[in-house]
Amino acid sequence: MPPRIPGVESRYADLDGLRMHYVEAGDPAGPPVLLLHGFPEFWYSWRFQIQALAGAGYRVIAPDQRGYNLTQKSGPYTGEQLARDIVNLQEHLGIARSYVVGHDWGGVVAWAFAAFYPQRVIKLVSLNSPHPQAYQDACKRGLKQLRKSWYIFFFQLPWLPERAISANNFGKIRKLFGTLPKQYCTEEDIGNYVEALAQPGALHAAINWYRNIPRQLLGFGGRIPPARITVPTCVIWGERDDALEVMCCDSLPRYVQDLDLHFLPESTHWVQIDAPERVNALLLAFFASPEK
């Protein structure tokens, strides 16, 4: 059974070639905020942010991205298409511009969205998701980031990644989220992640995001966006990330015109889950800050 959160409504949007599931909360007339999840997640990873932002008067929309959970399982899984999905969702909802927040792969989509469609972004927030050029810079500096990226190469293989992840009733997913503090990620929460990834075709679709990664990083798909991000941008980074080195942030000033950077030394890759109060405070402060 899909998880339920008080005040959060589950809805569907028929977009251009895609039936997308999303949840919505808060004031329908409030400033819109789009929350974009990563792997192996779905809208539920934003449960702490949805309530905080809705309580502050924002209109909060958190989709299941293409291929995930209850959204249709069909490609292409390129940054260009995934960014276009967000435009289509905005248009469906009657939104001209919004705040955009992304984590992990959702951050990659957020970077692409801000590069392709800056006129549709009020402000951008990325959580433990480096700008693709900054990620490449980190990989070129030595082996540390390349070693941490081993799973990306593994995910290029056919069928084997899906079998490994789904084995033992998604034991790897249970172990992954089982490392988070129990007060923020309970056994029920972990079960919700497993149920979402066990939807027919969902795991294969999620891995296919990784199988598109060379195009994702080198050009977001067929059309290469400008590398420099011109919208006001906040990056929140949990330093205990097992997949991404802090050095992924070193060259960010080259690519981000207006950067607000925050490091959380005790947080992991799942920063919005294991440090929700701090993340929520940073989001609200950044949204409320005057544009330069």
Catalytic residue among 37, 135, 269, 274: 269
Q: Which helix (H) or strand (E) holds 22?
A: strand 18-26
Prediction pTM value? 0.96
Task: Kindly give the residue spans of alpha helices, DSSP state H, lying in 120-255.
Answer: 132-140, 143-148, 150-154, 160-178, 187-197, 202-211, 213-219, 252-255
Domain count, the chain: 1
Buried b vs exposed e over 243-255: b needs ≥16 C-beta within 10 Å? Answer: ebbbbbbebbeeb
Residue 156 Cα to chain centre, angstroms: 20
Average pLDDT over residues 163-192: 97
Query: What are the tens digits of pLDDT across the range 164-176?
Result: 999 999 999 999 9
Taking 80 as the threshold, does the pLDDT of residue 2 lie above it?
A: no
- CATH number for the domain harbouring residue 284: 3.40.50.1820
Q: Is residue 269 annotated as a catalytic residue, yes or no?
A: yes
Helix (H, G, I), strand (E, B) or coil at 6: coil
Taking 80 as the threshold, does the pLDDT of residue 291 lie above it?
A: no
Within-domain flag for 25: yes
Q: Which long-range contacts (CB under 8 A, 24 or more apart) does 154-159 make?
A: 155/207, 155/210, 155/211, 155/213, 156/210, 156/211, 156/213
Q: Of 216 and 227, which is predicted with more confidence? A: 227
Within-domain flag for 64: yes
Within-domain flag for 93: yes
Catalytic residue among 64, 104, 189, 241: 104
Q: Is residue 210 annotated as a catalytic residue, yes or no?
A: yes
Within-domain flag for 30: yes
Catalytic residue among 68, 210, 255, 274: 210
pLDDT of residue 224: 57
pLDDT of residue 225: 63
Average pLDDT over residues 209-225: 64
Within-domain flag for 4: no
Q: Which long-range contacts (CB under 8 A, 24 or more apart) does 173-180 make?
A: 173/40, 173/197, 176/40, 177/270, 179/268, 180/268, 180/270, 180/273, 180/274
Q: Are 136 and 126 a contacting pair, CB within 8 Å?
A: no
Taking 90 as the threshold, does the pLDDT of residue 80 lie above it?
A: no
Query: Which tokens belong to 156?
Result: 């290029």
Helix (H, G, I), strand (E, B) or coil at 104: coil
Taking 80 as the threshold, does the pLDDT of residue 215 lie above it?
A: no
Q: What mean pLDDT value characterizes the chain?
A: 93
Within-domain flag for 3: no
pLDDT of residue 223: 57
pLDDT of residue 292: 67
Alpha carbon separation from 150 to 94, 242, 266 (Å, rounded)? 41, 11, 24
Domain span holding position 118: 9-288
Average pLDDT over residues 240-268: 96
Q: Is residue 242 annotated as a catalytic residue, yes or no?
A: no
Query: What are the tens digits of pLDDT across the range 106-163?
Result: 999 999 999 999 999 999 999 999 998 999 899 998 899 999 999 988 998 999 999 9
Taking 60 as the threshold, does the pLDDT of residue 219 lie above it?
A: no
Within-domain flag for 100: yes
What gap in Å lies between CA 41 and CA 143, rounded to an integer?
A: 28
Within-domain flag for 2: no
